[in-house]
Amino acid sequence: MQSHEQPVLRDLVLVGGGHSHVGVLKAFGMRPIPGVRLTLICTDTDTPYSGMLPGYVAGHYSFDDVHIDLGRLAAFAGARFYRDQVTGLDRVNRKVLCRHRPAVSYDLLSINIGSTPQLQGVPGAVDNAIAVKPIARFNERWLALLSRVQQHPDSTTVAVVGAGAGGVELLLAMQFRLRQTLMHMGRNPDNVRFHLFTSSADILPTHNPGVRQRFDAVLKQRGVQLHRHAAVTQVSPGRLMAASGEVVDADEIVWVTRAGGADWLKDTGLALDADGFIQVNDHLQTVTDPHIFAAGDIASMVNYPLEKAGVFAVRQGPPLTENLRRSVQGTALKAYHPQRRWLALISTGDKFAVASRGWLGFAGAWVWRWKDWIDRRFMRKFQEFPAMPDSAAPGAVASTTGTVQLSAEESLQAISAIAMRCGGCGAKVGASVLANALSQLRPVQRSDVLIGLNDPDDAAVVRVPPGMLMVHSVDFFRAFVNDPYRFGQVAANHALGDLWAMGAQAQSATAIATVPPGLESKVEDVLFQMMSGALEVLNEANCALVGGHTGEGQELALGFAVNGLIADDPTQLMRKGGMQPGDALILTKPIGTGTLFAAHARLAAKGRWIEAALQSMVLSNRAGAQCLRGFGVTACTDLTGFGLLGHLVEMTRPSNVDAEIDLSALPLLDGAQECVAAGIVSSLQSANVRLRRAVRNQEAMVAHPRYPLIFDPQTAGGLLASVPAERAQDCVTALRALGYVHTTIIGRVLPAGDALAPIVLCG
């Protein structure tokens, strides 16, 4: 999480987690510029390293060997990581438009989104061919192909379209892996056949004749049917037709050619080349807009036409970093002149590789080992991070205004923000900042809200309809993730959880927020992002935001006082007491958020674990509570800070029962067990562990690998409920159908025994 003490002065937004941007992130992580905030927006949490992709396909590497974890890398760099798809730019207002979140403001933008398959030009290709690009999506397509071949009873024919280095290397890797797979299954490896189509006379047209001959020989020896001068002109299910007149039947058609720029770039006004790639100058700056840079496949250097290859994207990382630094600091940019010749190491699938550079070419198993060494060394840069000195040290603040170029007004605001840091915490956010941020939000309108945000007064006035009771709750916590929008979503969902757990419907909410001081535009933006996320959740719950208070504070924090309504009938309330012996205990969401976010703060959690945890945290308990009621729930609560054990004891005590929990049945978030096994727990864990005396057989169970997780504090956790045993299985099925896919029966309610400790663990 971003923990810089100095105010944010400039936003550098990186679109796409390609090979150049991973270099930028690492470099900024090693040497940040005080006051410059990085944000990475990428569709994927794990981005593939193209150099090792064929080795992964061939089965020599695992998924994690060949993917860079953007979540961890961004955390190391102190960057905000927004997992989303960029759909456009508003260059006038300097905003990046995203598919699933509000637009993201930038001062400086860099684009590294790779290339996009251009299948549209060939009839039938879109529906019937598997595009290798974008490579970040290739993994799922490859795994699906692998499984189809395994399940295919007879022989399978695979056609690869495109015989550049990517196509040839991929074909040989796929062939190696599929043959090995069939052999392991006891089937004939010759049952998988390959065709390679190229529009030109030669394969590997950008390499020297010696290298081409070597690969011609390898393809021949491996029985690959090569179709030269055979541009594919039409694809239909299971069949492709080439300009040469050839027609080939194929079960799988893999497309490794004709890549272009993403369609959304056409509407940005940026100058694009004939294939839709962004035209950049020698500074990797777009020729159109000095605030926008581009690198990798998506960039087209006007003075240096380059092949689309990961090696160039990697090499552009350092000059791109340098020019982004210079641009934000207002110094002269530095020209980058790519090498005319480069070394390509192309593998043949079987741990053998060919080196190609200009007119040179050599081959061997040792070349593969050499390539393997180079590739693993590259990946280590993004897997192992040095411990960094605390960039938030107070001394760093003083130098802040000197590093980033600011206008006079901005300098004043920055200086006052620093002063605020020194003593003014808790002050109110400026009225115009608040008004601007909130004016863009549209809270849901309810007829029972008499005075709310649209007609503000000293306080909100809300009517309690006749025959209804009002249900109150409040929650407040610090941002645990470097993404104000998603934090806002989680904070609102967490607060509403208490209402759903009582069986109430949400009515209104007031917000309390603290935002770190800084330039007004930055404070306003953070507030807007955070409240947008929160409002989305409140509106979805038909809960009217009727007021709030925002102050400046050291850290971003948000909480809500929420009010709900329930019929004036005690039987309608879902209470913690009420459990009956024999009931089944149901948990609707997996646990582990405490340990996962503690690990995230230490760079010890995988980005995809954090992503999955966030998705779980924004899943509302509203429908789950209604479902539980329909199955005769006898008691219910939502899991939050006290963890599973703490909340269970809160239920057994008033119910005057005991309970048994099956540790092996507990639904866990991905990575939770690994994190506690590594000894990483939340700072709240020790307080929760005090309750261990409630466990009757703790000595017998303390060594169980899941034991620490019963103390793990949850944020926006699931519902823990007791349901009559005979209806429990149907209830689980219904909850899963509603989207609570991890719902599980985790134990049962026992009659109160003589022992003081009410909880028994098993599993």
The CA distance from 363 to 579, in Å, is 72
**Minimal distance in Å, beta carbon 19 to ligand FAD?**
4
Q: Would you count residue 211 as binding ligand FAD (CB under 6 A)?
A: no
| Neighbouring residues of 667: CB distance < 8 A, sequence distance ≥ 6 | 587, 589, 590, 591, 742, 743, 744, 746
Which member of 24, 33, 36, 41 binds ligand FAD (CB under 6 A)?
Answer: 41
| Minimum distance from residue 413 beta carbon to ligand FAD (Å) | 31
Quick one: 7 or 166, whose CB is closer to ligand FAD?
166
Backbone angles phi, psi at 160, to 5 degrees: -110, 125
Query: Is the Cβ of residue 310 or residue 319 nearer to ligand FAD in the bound state?
Result: 310
Written as one string, the DSSP assignment of 107-145 is SEEEE----EE--TTSTTHHHHSEE--SHHHHHHHHHHH
Binding-site size, ligand FAD (CB under 6 A): 37
Give helix then strand counts, H and E, for the chain: 24, 37
Q: CB-based contacts of 419: which residues, under 8 Å, 6+ apart?
A: none
Q: Could you tell me the smallest distance in angstroms from the CB atom of residue 375 to ligand FAD?
A: 9
Residue 88 near residue 508, CB atoms below 8 Å: no
Let me know: does 744 contact 706? Beta carbons within 8 Å.
no
Closest approach of Cβ 382 to ligand FAD, in Å? 13
Question: Please, what sign has the CA dihedral across residues 569, 573, 579, 580?
Answer: positive
17, 443, 484, 518: residue in contact with ligand FAD (rule CB under 6 A): 17
Residues 93-132 that bind ligand FAD (CB under 6 A): 112-114, 132
Question: Which region, judged by CB under 6 A, interacts with ligand FAD, from 37-45, 383-391, 636-644, 746-754?
Answer: 37-45
Burial of 533 (0-12, 13-18, 19+ CB in 10 A): buried
Q: Which of the ranges 166-174, 378-386, 393-401, 573-581 carries the binding residues for ligand FAD, by CB under 6 A?
A: 166-174
**Nearest approach, Cβ of residue 634 and ligand FAD (Å):** 47
Stretch that binds ligand FAD, among 42-50, 282-290, 539-547, 694-702 (CB under 6 A): 42-50
Token pair for 601 = 């703060």
CB atoms within 10 A of CB 427: 12
Residue pair 752/588 in contact by the 8 Å Cβ criterion: no
Piece in contact with ligand FAD (CB under 6 A), picked from 14-22, 427-435, 599-607, 729-737:
14-22
- Binding string, 720-759, against ligand FAD, x = CB under 6 A? ----------------------------------------
256 or 513: CB nearest ligand FAD: 256
| By CB under 6 A, residue 443 contacts ligand FAD | no
Least Å distance between CB 574 and ligand FAD? 42
DSSP-derived secondary structure letter, 69: E
The answer to whether 306 and 312 have CB atoms below 8 angstroms apart is: yes
29, 34, 54, 758: which one binds ligand FAD (CB under 6 A): 54
Specify the residue, 89 or 537, whose C-beta has the smaller distance to ligand FAD: 89
Among 25, 89, 130, 135, binds ligand FAD (CB under 6 A): 135
Q: Three-class SS of residue 422?
A: helix
Rounded to whole angstroms, the Cα distance separating 593 from 612 reads 10
Is 19 a binder of ligand FAD (CB under 6 A)? Answer: yes
Phi-psi region of 671 (alpha: psi -120 to 50; beta: other; left: phi over 0): left
Q: Which is nearer to ligand FAD, 9 or 41 (CB)?
A: 41
- The least distance separating ligand FAD from the CB of residue 335, rounded to whole angstroms, comes to 20
Our CB check for ligand FAD shows the closer of 50 and 413 to be 50
Give the nearest distance from C-beta 327 to ligand FAD in angstroms: 20
Cβ 633 to ligand FAD, closest distance in Å?
Answer: 42
Does the protein bind ligand FAD through residue 71 (CB under 6 A)?
no
User: What would the two tokens of residue 657 be?
Assistant: 């029962």
Reference 509, options 556, 567, 449; nearest CA is 449
Output 24 or 735, the one with its CB closest to ligand FAD: 24
Alpha-carbon distance values, 432 to 521, 525, 526, 552 (Å): 10, 12, 14, 14
Which of 7, 9, 13, 20: binder of ligand FAD (CB under 6 A)?
20
Q: In which residue are the tokens 């005991």 written?
A: 658
Which of 47, 489, 595, 682 forms a contact with ligand FAD (CB under 6 A)?
Answer: 47
Contact residue for ligand FAD among 170, 253, 645, 694 (CB under 6 A):
170
CB 371 within 8 A of CB 354: no
Token representation of residue 325? 């630094």
Q: Report the nearest approach of ligand FAD to the CB of residue 219 (Å).
A: 16
* DSSP classification of residue 695: B
Sequence-ordered list of residues with C-beta below 8 angstroms from that of 398, at least 6 positions apart, any chain:
none
Query: What does the per-residue mask of binding to ligand FAD show for 304-323, with x meaning CB under 6 A?
Result: ----xxxx-x----------
Coarse DSSP helix, strand, coil percentages of the chain, rounded to the nearest 5 percent: 40, 25, 35
Q: How many CA atoms lie within 13 A of 199 on its CB side?
A: 9
Site for ligand FAD in 606-625 (CB under 6 A): none
260 interacts with ligand FAD by CB under 6 A = no
Q: Which of residues 685-704 bind ligand FAD (CB under 6 A)?
A: none
The residues, ordered by sequence, that sit 6+ positions from 395 with a Cβ below 8 Å of its Cβ are none
The residues in 288-307 that bind ligand FAD, with binding defined as CB under 6 A, are 296-298
| 86 makes contact with ligand FAD (CB under 6 A) | yes
Asked if residue 166 binds ligand FAD (CB under 6 A), the reply is yes
Catalytically active residues are 425
The total of other beta-carbon atoms located within 10 Å of residue 566's CB is 18
| CA 184 remoteness from chain centre | 35
- 175 is an interface residue for ligand FAD by CB under 6 A: no
Nearer to ligand FAD, 134 or 671 (CB): 134
Among 2, 50, 640, 743, which residue interacts with ligand FAD (rule: CB under 6 A)? 50
- From the list 36-44, 354-362, 447-455, 622-630, the region that binds ligand FAD by CB under 6 A is 36-44
Strand, coil or helix: what is 488? helix
In contact, 504 and 552? CB cutoff 8 Å:
no
Cα gap 14→146, rounded to integer Å: 34
Q: Does 15 bind ligand FAD (CB under 6 A)?
A: yes
Asked if 434 touches ligand FAD (CB under 6 A), the answer is no
Two tokens at 522? 């930055």
**CA 460 to the chain's CA centroid:** 37
Least Å from the CB of residue 89 to ligand FAD:
11
Q: Is residue 18 near ligand FAD by the rule CB under 6 A? A: yes
The β-bridge partners of 759 are 659, 695
Nearer to ligand FAD, 69 or 638 (CB): 69
For tokens 């058609």, the residue is: 253
Q: How far is the CB of 612 from ligand FAD (least distance, A)?
A: 18
Taking the C-alpha atoms of residue 565 and residue 623, their distance in angstroms, rounded to an integer, is 16
Closest approach of ligand FAD to the CB of residue 299, in Å: 8
String marking each residue 226-255 x if it binds ligand FAD according to CB under 6 A = ------------------------------
Binding site for ligand FAD (CB under 6 A): 15-20, 41-44, 47, 50-51, 53-54, 85-86, 112-114, 132, 134-136, 166, 169-170, 256, 262, 296-298, 308-311, 313
